[in-house]
Amino acid sequence: MIALIAKELRLSLRHGAESMAALLFFIIAGTLFAFGVGPDPAILGRIAPGVVWVTALLAALLPLERLFAPDFEDGTLDLLLLSGWPAYAIAAAKTAVHWVTTGLPLLLIAAPLAVMLRLPGDKLPLLMLSLLPGTLIFSLLGTLAAALTTGARRGAILMPLITLPLMIPSLIFGTAAASSPNPAPSFYMIFAMLLVALPLAPIGTGLALRAAAE
């Protein structure tokens, strides 16, 4: 597992433009909301959690198209599946690399973006705490969607159609956790969704990869 994650990280660093594009999209899209809504601190502070969550979700989708496609095209995926490794372990490694290269940087940049959007200081820790499981869910479900569309014609079009409906519940509860006067129920829900996705998403991704290879 460590060797596979290290290999994927080296490849991600070698092709770092995709991760950088996701980060730039996150910053630019969040900034555009400030220009579109206006400089009123009350309005910006009220919509800041939703803006950060929506832009983070969309940014997390950008690198997914290339998550399995190169391995599928050059035969690496077939070799990994024939190596005796469980398919869910390959899926878990890919998910970990996606979160490290995309989800973690988004999480780190979210704080200054939220401050720029005039998010009240007492809400910032709640936003960051909600984004931690949120970005993990984005990586888990995004990897599943990438596997489902591997080898499919026009997979880049199908992937958002599959991914976005799955991510809407986490978006709803994550935004509520960062902005509601009583955030505890929303935090319970989003962490519960993470606990469900952690074992099930890699298993589903592994099955989708075997189906794509066959």
The pLDDT tens digits of the residues spanning 93-118 come to 999 999 999 999 999 999 999 999 99
Q: Per-residue confidence at 127, pLDDT binned at 50, 70, 90?
A: very high
Specify whether the CB–CB gap between 99 and 5 falls below 8 A: no
Q: Per-residue confidence at 155, pLDDT binned at 50, 70, 90?
A: low
Name which residue leads in pLDDT, 190 or 4.
Answer: 190
Q: Per-residue confidence at 52, pLDDT binned at 50, 70, 90?
A: very high
Three-state secondary structure readout of 62-73 = HHHHHCCHHHHH
Instruction: Inform me whether the pLDDT recorded for 210 exceeds 80.
Output: yes
Ordered by start, the domain boundaries in the chain are: 2-213
Specify whether the CB–CB gap between 162 and 146 falls below 8 A: no
Q: Per-residue confidence at 154, pLDDT binned at 50, 70, 90?
A: low
**Contact partners, residue 109, CB within 8 Å, separation at least 6:** 23, 26, 27
Q: What is the pLDDT of residue 8?
A: 79
Say how far residue 143 (Cα) sits from the centre of its chain: 9
Rounded to the nearest integer, the mean pLDDT of the chain is 88
pTM of the model: 0.90
